[in-house]
Amino acid sequence: MKLPRFAKVYHIKNYNFTLVALVLSLSVLGIFVVGSARQIYQSRQIFGVVFGFAVMVVVSLFDYVWVLEFYWLIYLAAIGSLGSVFLIGQTVNGARRWINLGFTQFQPSELAKILLILFFSRFIMNHKEDINDQSILVKYAVLSAIPLGLIFAEPNLSTTLVTAMVLCLLIYVGGLKYRVIGKILLVLIPTAVIFLGIVLLPHQPFLQEYQQRRILAFINQEEDQASDEVYQQNNSIMAIGSGKLTGKGLNNNTTTSVKNGNFIPEPQTDFIFAIVGEELGFIGGCIVIALLLLIVVQCILIGIRAQDLAGRIICCGVGGLIGVQSFVNISVATGLIPNTGVPLPFVSYGLTSLVSLYIGIGFVLNVGLQPKKYQ
């Protein structure tokens, strides 16, 4: 019987069970931590892990080369989903980022990250010979600016920056020369400095008031100790430190706990690492970071052995997304960067983020199932 075009005959020896085990281990740890932070969300997190794992397995059996034949439809799906929040999305705390599906909230920007990685992997491969040409770079910039602009308009500055960093990584992996990178930096660095100077001024036109407040609070931490932004981060740092080596244990009921004392709102999402540090201690925090690092390394290793440039970009893009999001989330929880909302991959509560990352891992696994043939 002839197989459909999207399927191939794969060898089980090429299935990267190490990556699967790492992702599943981190997800199970996330279930326990989310349940400890807010018990009501644990059952939903379990559903997200089970559903996401099943989707990952199915996606891993789809030939990514065939999927990328529809790369323009993938791009339009990303743009369409991002644009839909302005038509049917719900506004929460001044931001319109979610669509109510009845049984859950869907956040298009999380899925769009994976869709954009798929689209640009094929786009860059199509232009691998002329990727450093000015016309192609302009086209890449325009195609990137459209989804980034939609995410920024929600408003969602943190996701915009994370997505932008991933898109920069993709074109670097695609063969962007250091000479071109240097020229781009000569323009971007002064522009960024000017932009930062403007957004710190009163009545600036670029950022929402709460976004500017977070940046100012971070810069003037000693003067703004009473602000919500500094208050949350300081409590997160104290919670992580209070866990010491082994932590206070999951589901502890002490009133001084960062979750029980309501010192951080919604600890199951953006500040989940504070719960990890407080309840699992330094050892638990190191385990989470090590698992995230190993997942990124496995994605890169699979990408190195990919049969084509598109496969390599998919692996590096998904690995880079996990790495960048992890760095931003943990940096916020430890006070290294201004307070911003980005989920910790496979640990934070959030079904859209969780399932989207599982989809990304599914494509990485499929790239691994079709390794480069050495003669």
Q: Give tens-digit pLDDT for 91-108.
A: 776 678 888 887 778 899
Label each residue of the chain as H, E or C: CCCCCCCCCCCHHHCCHHHHHHHHHHHHHHHHHHHHHCHHHHHHHHHHHHHHHHHHHHHHCCCHHHHHHHHHHHHHHHHHHHHHHHHHCEEECCEEEEEECCCCEECHHHHHHHHHHHHHHHHHHHCCCCCCCHHHHHHHHHHHHHHHHHHHCCCCHHHHHHHHHHHHHHHHHCCCCHHHHHHHHHHHHHHHHHHHHHHCCCCCCCCCHHHHHHHHHHHCCCCCCCCHHHHHHHHHHHHHHHCCCCCCCCCCCCCCCCCCCCCCCCCCCCCHHHHHHHHHHHHHHHHHHHHHHHHHHHHHHHHHCECCHHHHHHHHHHHHHHHHHHHHHHHHHCCCCCCCCCCCCCCCCCHHHHHHHHHHHHHHHHHHHCECCCC
- Give the pLDDT mean for 38-47: 92
Is the residue at 308 inside a domain? yes
Is the residue at 375 inside a domain? no
Q: Is the dihedral of CA 319, 323, 329, 333 positive or negative?
A: positive
pLDDT above 70 as % of the chain: 89
- Give the pLDDT mean for 9-31: 93
Is the residue at 175 inside a domain? yes
Is the residue at 218 inside a domain? no
- pLDDT tier at 13, thresholds 50, 70, 90: confident
Q: Report the predicted TM-score, pTM, of the whole model to 2 decimal places.
A: 0.92
- pLDDT tier at 235, thresholds 50, 70, 90: confident
Residue 223 has pLDDT above 60, yes or no: no
Q: How many domains does one find in the chain?
A: 1
- Give the pLDDT mean for 361-374: 86
Whole-number average pLDDT of the chain: 88
Q: Which amino acid is at 302?
A: I
Predicted pLDDT at 217: 65
Q: What tokens were used for 97?
A: 């980022």
Predicted pLDDT at 187: 84
Q: Give tens-digit pLDDT for 304-359.
A: 999 999 999 999 999 999 999 999 999 999 988 888 879 999 999 989 999 999 99
Predicted pLDDT at 78: 96
Sheet holding 95-100, edge to edge: 90-92, 95-100, 105-106
Residue 260 has pLDDT above 80, yes or no: no
Is the residue at 109 inside a domain? yes
Structural domain including 124 reads 12-184+227-369
- Give the pLDDT mean for 223-251: 79
d(CA 43, CA 47) in angstroms, rounded, equals 6
Predicted pLDDT at 81: 94
- Give the pLDDT mean for 17-28: 97
Angle at the Cα of 162 from the Cα atoms of 33 and 281, rounded to 5 degrees: 25
d(CA 120, CA 123) in angstroms, rounded, equals 5
Is the residue at 157 inside a domain? yes
Is the residue at 95 inside a domain? yes
- Give the pLDDT mean for 66-95: 90
- pLDDT tier at 227, thresholds 50, 70, 90: low
CB atoms within 10 A of CB 140: 20
Burial class of residue 111 (count of CB atoms within 10 Å of its CB; 0-12, 13-18, 19+): buried
d(CA 272, CA 199) in angstroms, rounded, equals 29
Choose among 114, 118, 169, 164: nearest CA to 144.
164
- pLDDT tier at 374, thresholds 50, 70, 90: very low
CB 356 within 8 A of CB 114: yes
Q: Give tens-digit pLDDT for 193-222.
A: 887 777 677 777 767 676 677 776 666 665
Predicted pLDDT at 228: 63
Is the residue at 105 inside a domain? yes
Q: Give tens-digit pLDDT for 134-178.
A: 999 999 999 999 999 999 988 888 899 999 999 999 999 999 998
d(CA 339, CA 329) in angstroms, rounded, equals 9
Predicted pLDDT at 309: 95
Predicted pLDDT at 140: 96
Residue 34 has pLDDT above 70, yes or no: yes
- Give the pLDDT mean for 72-85: 96
Predicted pLDDT at 353: 94
